[in-house]
Structure 1
Amino acid sequence: MIDPYEILGVSREADAAAIKSAYRRRAKSAHPDAGGDVDLFGKIKTAYEILNDPVRRKVFDDTGYDPELADTKDLQGLVILETLVNEMILDEREPGSFDPVASMRRKLTDRVVNARFHILEMERHRARIRNHIDRIGRKPETDVLGRMLKARCETIQDAIGKAQSEIETIEQAYGMLDGYSYEIEAIEVKDAAE
C-alpha cells in the first residue's frame, strides 16, 4: 500500500489546492514523456486520486488503506479489527487499567483455535460419511443414497474451505496488530502488614 501524502510530499492537513499543486509538480518531473519513471508516475497519479476524493481520503486517514487498492484480505482483516476496536471503545474499564491490544490478540487467537477445531470436527464427520459410502451397496439403476452422501461430503468440503479462508483473514488481522503495545498504569499494592 502506498502512502499518498509521502508520495506527493504534502502534510496530512494539506488542502485541495496544496495537493493539486504538489501533484502537478511531481507529475511534471515523473511523466514518462519527460523521461520520468512510469511506475513512479502511476503512484503519483494514484496518490492524487486518493487525496482528491474526500471519501477515499477519509478512509485512508482512518485506516491507512485505500479500499480500491488494498488487498481483499487486508480489507477483511480491517473489518475484523473494526469489531474489536468497537469492543475496546465500549469496554467500561478505565483506560490504562487493562491492555486492549493484548485482549484483541487473545480474541483473534481464540477465533483461530475455534475455527481449527471446527475444521477437525468437519473432517471427522466427512471421514465417517466416506466410510458409509464405501460400505453401502449400490443400486444398479440409480444410486440415490450414494449421491446424497457424496453431496454431503462436498458440502462439508465447501465449509472446510470457508473455515480455512476465515483463519487466513483472522491471521491477517492479527498481523495488522504487529508492532502495537499498550501502556498499563502501575498499580501500587499496599503491604498487607500495614
Structure 2
Amino acid sequence: MIDPYEMLGVSREADGAAIKLAYRKRAKTAHPDAGGDVDMFSKLTMSYELLSDPVRRKVYDDTGYDPELADTKDLQGLVILETLVNEIILDEREPGSFDPVAAMRRKLTDKIVNARFHILEMERHRARIRNHIDRIGKKPDADVLGRMLRSRCDTINDAIVKAETEIGHIEKAYEMLDGYSYEIDAVAVEMKTAAE
C-alpha cells in the first residue's frame, strides 16, 4: 500500500494548498518528460488525487486503505476480513466474553487448511486421470477420450491455481491481523462459565 502522505512528502495535517504545492514540486522531477519514472509519476499522481478528494482522504485516514493505491492482494485480503468482521458484528455473545481476533485467526487458518486439503484431492484426481491417459490405447484417427481426459486435467490445473491464489489472499488477510490483540473481560467469562 502506498502512503500518499509519504509519497508527496506532506504531513497528515497538510491542507489542500500544501498538498498541491508538494505535488507540483515533485511532479517536475518525477514526470517522464523530465526523465522521471512512469510508475513513480503514476503513484505520485494517484496520491495527489486521493489527498485532493476530501471523501477519499477521510476514508484513507480512517482505514489506511484506498482501492486505487492498494495492491490487489491487499484488497482481496480486506474482502475476506470484511466477511469475518460482519460475523463478529452479528455474534450475539457479549463483547469481552470471547476474543474475536483469535476467532478470525482460527477461521482463516481453517480456510487455509481446507483449501490445501482440496488441492491435495484435486492433485490425486489429476494423477488418476493421467494414469488413465497413459493406459488408454489411442484410436488412430481421433483421440476423443484422450482429449477429454486431458481437458479434465487442464480444468483441474486451473482449479488448483485458483485455490492457491485464494490461499494467498487468505494469508494476506491473516497478515493484516498481525499486531492486534483483544482484551477479554474476566468477569464476563466467569459469568458465562457459571451460566453454563
Shorter-chain TM-score above 0.5: yes
Deviation of the 1:154 alpha carbon:
0.5
In the superposition, relative to structure 1, how do residues 30 and 151 fare at CA in structure 2: closer, same or farther (>3 Å)?
closer
Deviation of the 1:66 alpha carbon:
1.6
Count of equivalent residues: 181
Q: Which amino acid aligns with 1:9?
A: S
Aligned to 2:32: none
Aligned to 2:33: none
Aligned to 2:63: 63
Structure 2: stretches of 5+ with no match in the other structure: 30-35
In the superposition, relative to structure 1, how do residues 27 and 147 fare at CA in structure 2: closer, same or farther (>3 Å)?
closer
Task: State the TM-score, normalizing by the size of structure 1.
Answer: 0.81
Q: Distance in 1 between matches of 2:42 and 2:137?
A: 64
Aligned to 1:26: 22
Deviation of the 1:98 alpha carbon:
0.5
CA contact (8 A) 2:50 2:56 kept: yes
Equivalence map 1:1-194=2 (5 Å)? 1-5=1-5, 7-11=9-13, 19-27=15-23, 30=26, 32=28, 45-187=45-187
Bigger proportion of residues as helix: 2
In the superposition, relative to structure 1, how do residues 156 and 27 fare at CA in structure 2: closer, same or farther (>3 Å)?
closer
Query: Which SS does the other structure have where 1:111 is aligned?
Result: helix
Q: Which amino acid aligns with 2:124?
A: R
Q: Which amino acid aligns with 1:140?
A: P
Deviation of the 1:53 alpha carbon:
2.1
Q: Which amino acid aligns with 1:19?
A: D
CA contact (8 A) 1:56 1:67 kept: no
The percent of aligned pairs where both chains have the same amino acid is 71
Deviation of the 1:67 alpha carbon:
1.0
- After superposition, the C-alpha distances for 1:141-175 in whole angstroms (9 at most, x for unaligned) are 00110110000000000000000000001001100
